[in-house]
Structure 1
């Protein structure tokens, strides 16, 4: 099958020349950056190379990530590609806040947010516990990552970290970075940072294509030197009008003003507003209504008032766009929601503003100056790119080039090695929002049942509280008990905030309905109301512990080995890349992963663990056994089991770090077969050792003294049959001083240990997923 045919099958249309060129460049270049005007088909252009490679058995990527800056975009892209790709046997998953569908990135195509993928890269996966956060990063290697709408990322935070990720994971990763609104100099700067290539799809190319299809998207843009109000909206309104302003407060004010004016005038015009401060169910309803009223064939009359949430992700087309002045790249996104199908000439009115926030003042002023000088003008893709080049010239690339990527690398390395979440605000984004409940007596709520809440900027809340009398009477903050299990229960103590300046110390607060309200029409607002947050769960969803079935040490080791090798085809690309670097065949890389799986539970052969396991089976289960066990029977729903496991006689010794230390001589012996440089061989040994040490906790450090049973070497040899035929030397016994010494034997994410760190991610992912699957299948 040729790529043109696949384009036609998946999309229903023949590819544009620039799409074919881009697809070919993506195949040829591991790192590719492209800018193309809105509505030019970038999504499928970036997806099709992966599909083509999969269906033609080309070693291109093991999996694909489609990464977006906002959750609404994730939903829109997933809804577009999932039905089509799943018909071709490609599993499409969604991973984002509020939809934790694929925390370990096991899909063929994972649609996710920039926050999720960067958190995984930093070893702080949002979708998993901290202990399990060394499973997801291994999915990044051997993958193809599409980063869409990258102009929305903060250059000094998430974009800088993404650049670091591309460089650190090279040559184990591919990327295609896309946007509609970036200058050529900016593309040049980014592609230089990631050592890639870039492509600019010119406005002329797009207009020629649109002309050939009789779909030239043309909008008349007019500058208006006054602020937007209800009167000007009604004056410019045609049939389907979209009003986009810069703040939620202005959305709500215009909605109230406009609905009141329409009511007084006796008009029959539906008005809806949209922003991020709606409850999910209400927002979904509003978005469906807006998409229905502003779809291509719609004849309905409506005025939609919104903020930046409509700039990307919503497939809507208004006849008239009324917009606040904003930076050129944001304005072009807004213009893209007006007559986007080229059937009519769209009308765009851009109005003056009194405050530049939340945007950069200089960019806003430069855009305003450009519009005053150039408008009225008929804007096509050509004029759009000219405006971006004029307004944004030299700004983004200067900021990017001014960043110290060595400092970014230093902070990333420290975060990956230590797991410190405080780095997120510097490496992904500084979340300046506080979660807010509305309730007069928040102590009546069970927080574990997820009461309805809203997310608003700290500054918005603080500014509001400063302007009301005795604000401390209406704001409560939660104080949690020390018992972690009770953290989200009614045991939480709520106290009045005595000094509103301390609001920054809290992640969430409760506001009295006397100062906060909510409605389905305008969302959350800081005003008196009657709304009270309700619990959304009728029952507490507590995470269940794993059950276990009796399994001998050798049975478990052989089963995990089998599970690891059965997933080989999911890691063809990354395995071949490691094989090339290590100058060995791919099967040997798989054998190293299998060896780690075979040895991971060696600590279960510590004398104390063997005795406790046998005693548990005899006393609690009634099964007298002399076997060496990896797992005993255990049922977390059985109160008797839960009670007994806490008793001293059934306390097992730690086994992960201790087992890694015990099998270290075997790892060293196996690595000698590769005949590599001493430094590289040392990294391989350390990667396998670290995987075993951290197979229950991604940041395990502590190691205790131990002594394995006398038969340990013989038992381990049985678990290695067909994989490792040499003797099985062990560190069978380690005392306190040696234990402290081995604690310092650690792997970190430093550049000089990069190969070892990436192997550690690879081995950890394969071992931990196989280990989980092994027990799940037995239950």
Structure 2
């Protein structure tokens, strides 16, 4: 299928290295406009230069899931063909409720903006604090697409995901390519963003949409209704016009649930009332989406004879490729109304009707604009503007004129606030990078404070050690607080109502990469607790006696009938071959580990980062290939701290002892430089043996900062060599490399390196030196073996040699990019089950 004119403009702009802001009508193919250049870069990399990883961010998880399914089919079809696209290995879907790719490893990832920004800020949702610096490098190193940007969260103060995205794009302006898209920008916002971000505009003013079939021969009438929406309005209209399908969109879940239940009572048995909002488990959400695709899709021959009413919230506002002859909607900002109307008469030749109803009143008689508290003036102006066109059919230009009228003042304030808040927002971003504090998320991502509920009758460390492996249902904390009286009254005789998990500390340096810490659940709230106890908690377990759940209505605060109900486990990822987890290690020498790291990097990772490596090299005026060499050096030196006398003494003692429990464990010579021992942390006997060895010869020493300490002369030599004596560039590269080594096991490891004594201390065999020399040879940096190192340095604080986010944005971005690749290669090497050293 050929591209539409505006899609070609997007492609050509990216081809020229430009950033793109796209405004196009609903149903016109914006998703293809954003993804086609990325997919084409896989097929013809000489024609368009983009990263080989794409992160596609959306405001709602429904949109992410739909796109993931669609593009999984596209990629699978190409795998059976001769297209180079068959090499694109993995398409994934990642949200807080459904973590399909929590480490952002997929070549094409569809996710929510919350996930993308939390990863960039080093406060990733769903990963431990040890892994906080893991996902930032993936964001920095990818082609970024932002869809339906106008729906991104915005806080009272002007912060939140909507503005943090802009700050991120400014920071990545000369590094990372991106496309930002929507159907309903005001001209004020569109022009302002293009100016501030240095982007190319593709819109109705700069392009032509007349060649898009879905935009031809269709009519959509808008009518104002002066009263709030009721079930009777919906049913009366359906009967009067003999409609087979109707769509109802409410502003809140509670309102949608109430209207749906009343419609069920009001309508005859041959009318099916479907509800859709964010309170379903994954399999039920997918089932509903599949049903909607069939019953409200473009191919009406697939419709059943049953009449249907879909009652939903904003989750159908974007993404779902459905159509209805009529929409009944609560008043919302004009941009949201236009998006909702995109589900009416969506396809060529259709005619549809949109009814816009006034919102209900609060107890004080004021309009209840929930959840649009920050856009009440926009809602009022939207109402006034739509009144002028009530009863008329509106084309895209008129719809945009309404958006301009309703959103102009708000959008201008947003742009002014953005400019004024640059220093403060940048400070918060750098605080997040420095401290990995998740309490910054409300200011930087979403002030609408959400909490995820798991259902479990008795959560303990034994029954629910890894809660993020189970599906939860996300809701606003304010909703849960409103339900507190019900929970306390209903659960007065229960031992507990809600349980709060606590992450157990894991010695990541001793045990290695990919820590999956267990959680304990001793903190339980009973009826005597206060609602304030749930503040600041992002995940809770709820007693199934307090809630009801079914596949028709989802989760409700009603007394439960199934007291043994448990949240289902996350769906297994069938796209990728299962690999060993972090609980099992296999003996390998230092040289073997470094060889394996280089092997998996070249096989699985190198292709993703080529574009961004060149961007950094260009900005720092480094020779092409400099960062590739820097990465290979990081591979060789990252575990040099394990070549200490203390670490090797512990490893040899363990390897000797564990053979009594594991007959397959390798035997080691005292002259071996061990990188990993045979260890199965799932085995209770091995866990006890670990305690015994530690009690006998002491704790296994840390090694990350010590690695950087010993190899500091190597790092500085390579940095100066690659920077051709450019002190500024050399310092940035050196600091980024030191920080990557120090923090390759934990994002918050300080640069406090303990005194180091190379192994062994009793003879002149120099196992430490020989192991490093062999490692440098393994990564083809033999010439660096001549650089003199001190193998007995005293305790040293490396803070001055590390990245300081508040002092250097460039060094921080480069560190985050490098540490991602280092940690990822380290993890993949540990997971590699079959390995033969050629």
Question: Mean Cα displacement is larger for which, 630-639 or 448-457?
Answer: 448-457
- Correspondence for 1:664: 712
- Correspondence for 1:756: 811
Question: Mean Cα displacement is larger for which, 402-411 or 543-552?
Answer: 543-552
- C-alpha distance in 2 between matches for 1:685 and 1:442: 46
Residue in structure 1 matching 2:434, options 417, 424, 440: 417
Instruction: Check 1:20–1:619 CA distance in 2 against 1; reply closer, same or farther (3 A cut).
Output: closer
- Correspondence for 2:735: 686
Deviations 1:647-673 (A, max 9, x none): 232632211101110111122223332
* Partner SS, residue 388 of structure 2: helix
- Correspondence for 1:11: none
**Cα displacement (A) at 1:337:** 0.8
Contact 1:224 1:350 in 2 (8 A): yes
Instruction: Check 1:776–1:481 CA distance in 2 against 1; reply closer, same or farther (3 A cut).
Output: closer
* Partner SS, residue 346 of structure 1: strand
- C-alpha distance in 2 between matches for 1:556 and 1:595: 14
- Correspondence for 1:5: none
Residue in structure 2 matching 1:630, options 662, 666, 675: 675
- How many residues are treated as equivalent by the alignment? 758
Contact 1:565 1:590 in 2 (8 A): no
- C-alpha distance in 2 between matches for 1:585 and 1:440: 60
- C-alpha distance in 2 between matches for 1:204 and 1:572: 32
Give the TM-score normalised by the residue count of structure 2: 0.83
Contact 2:6 2:207 in 1 (8 A): no
Deviations 1:218-273 (A, max 9, x none): 1122212122223221221122111112222222222222222224xxx6322222
- Structure 2 gaps, min length 5: 79-84, 361-367, 507-516, 573-578, 660-666
Residue in structure 2 matching 1:284, options 283, 286, 293: 286
- C-alpha distance in 1 between matches for 2:596 and 2:215: 62
RMSD: 3.3
- C-alpha distance in 2 between matches for 1:136 and 1:728: 33
- C-alpha distance in 2 between matches for 1:580 and 1:244: 49
**Cα displacement (A) at 1:365:** 1.5
Contact 2:434 2:805 in 1 (8 A): yes
Contact 2:97 2:452 in 1 (8 A): no
Contact 1:18 1:201 in 2 (8 A): no
- C-alpha distance in 2 between matches for 1:638 and 1:477: 31
- Correspondence for 1:365: 380
Instruction: Check 1:476–1:22 CA distance in 2 against 1; reply closer, same or farther (3 A cut).
Output: same
Instruction: Check 1:551–1:408 CA distance in 2 against 1; reply closer, same or farther (3 A cut).
Output: same
- C-alpha distance in 1 between matches for 2:811 and 2:232: 65
- Correspondence for 1:308: 314
- Correspondence for 2:700: 652
- C-alpha distance in 2 between matches for 1:412 and 1:284: 35
**Cα displacement (A) at 1:398:** 1.8
- Correspondence for 2:412: 397
- Correspondence for 2:510: none
- Say if 2:26 is the partner of 1:38: yes
* Partner SS, residue 661 of structure 1: helix
- Correspondence for 1:242: 247
- C-alpha distance in 2 between matches for 1:515 and 1:103: 30
- Correspondence for 1:604: 642
- Say if 2:390 is the partner of 1:334: no
- C-alpha distance in 2 between matches for 1:271 and 1:26: 45
- Say if 2:585 is the partner of 1:548: yes
Contact 2:143 2:178 in 1 (8 A): yes
**Cα displacement (A) at 1:169:** 2.2
- Say if 2:566 is the partner of 1:535: yes
- C-alpha distance in 2 between matches for 1:444 and 1:607: 36
- Say if 2:326 is the partner of 1:320: yes
* Partner SS, residue 356 of structure 2: strand
Q: Map of 1:212-611 to 2, 5 A cutoff?
A: 215-237=216-238, 238-263=243-268, 268-298=270-300, 299=303, 300=305, 301-354=307-360, 355-359=368-372, 360-403=375-418, 404-436=421-453, 446-448=463-465, 454-465=473-484, 473=492, 476-478=497-499, 488=519, 493-500=524-531, 504=535, 516-527=547-558, 530=561, 532=563, 534-536=565-567, 544-565=581-602, 567-611=605-649
* Partner SS, residue 248 of structure 2: strand
**Cα displacement (A) at 1:758:** 2.9
* Partner SS, residue 243 of structure 1: strand
Question: Mean Cα displacement is larger for which, 41-50 or 537-546?
Answer: 537-546
- C-alpha distance in 2 between matches for 1:628 and 1:26: 49
- Say if 2:170 is the partner of 1:167: yes
Contact 1:517 1:528 in 2 (8 A): yes
Question: Mean Cα displacement is larger for which, 346-355 or 640-649?
Answer: 640-649
Instruction: Check 1:459–1:654 CA distance in 2 against 1; reply closer, same or farther (3 A cut).
Output: closer
**Cα displacement (A) at 1:581:** 3.4
Residue in structure 1 matching 2:686, options 641, 645, 661: 641
Instruction: Check 1:166–1:694 CA distance in 2 against 1; reply closer, same or farther (3 A cut).
Output: same
- Correspondence for 1:124: 123
Instruction: Check 1:623–1:386 CA distance in 2 against 1; reply closer, same or farther (3 A cut).
Output: closer
- Correspondence for 2:199: 196
**Cα displacement (A) at 1:483:** 6.0
Contact 2:547 2:558 in 1 (8 A): yes
- C-alpha distance in 2 between matches for 1:452 and 1:107: 21
- Correspondence for 1:4: none
Question: Mean Cα displacement is larger for which, 543-552 or 505-514?
Answer: 505-514
- Say if 2:72 is the partner of 1:82: yes
Deviations 1:449-477 (A, max 9, x none): 86886443333344455689957837823
Deviations 1:54-82 (A, max 9, x none): 22223332322211111110011112222
Instruction: Check 1:543–1:116 CA distance in 2 against 1; reply closer, same or farther (3 A cut).
Output: farther
- C-alpha distance in 2 between matches for 1:482 and 1:144: 33
- C-alpha distance in 2 between matches for 1:526 and 1:564: 49
Residue in structure 2 matching 1:723, options 769, 781, 795: 781
Give the TM-score normalised by the residue count of structure 1: 0.89
Deviations 1:462-511 (A, max 9, x none): 44556899578378233668966997567664522444465546656677
**Cα displacement (A) at 1:540:** 14
- Say if 2:130 is the partner of 1:115: no
Contact 1:713 1:728 in 2 (8 A): no
- C-alpha distance in 2 between matches for 1:540 and 1:732: 49
**Cα displacement (A) at 1:528:** 5.1
Question: Mean Cα displacement is larger for which, 387-396 or 529-538?
Answer: 529-538
- Structure 1 gaps, min length 5: 1-7, 9-13
Deviations 1:276-323 (A, max 9, x none): 223333333333223322122335421222221211121111111112
- C-alpha distance in 2 between matches for 1:580 and 1:352: 55
* Partner SS, residue 409 of structure 1: helix
Contact 1:189 1:401 in 2 (8 A): no
- C-alpha distance in 1 between matches for 2:457 and 2:615: 60
* Partner SS, residue 586 of structure 1: coil
**Cα displacement (A) at 1:565:** 4.8
- Correspondence for 1:774: 829
* Partner SS, residue 75 of structure 1: helix
**Cα displacement (A) at 1:129:** 2.8
Deviations 1:489-548 (A, max 9, x none): 676645224444655466566777887544443333344564546124699999953433
Contact 2:137 2:819 in 1 (8 A): yes
- C-alpha distance in 2 between matches for 1:69 and 1:197: 23
Deviations 1:614-662 (A, max 9, x none): 3333444354432222223333344443322222326322111011101
Instruction: Check 1:42–1:599 CA distance in 2 against 1; reply closer, same or farther (3 A cut).
Output: same
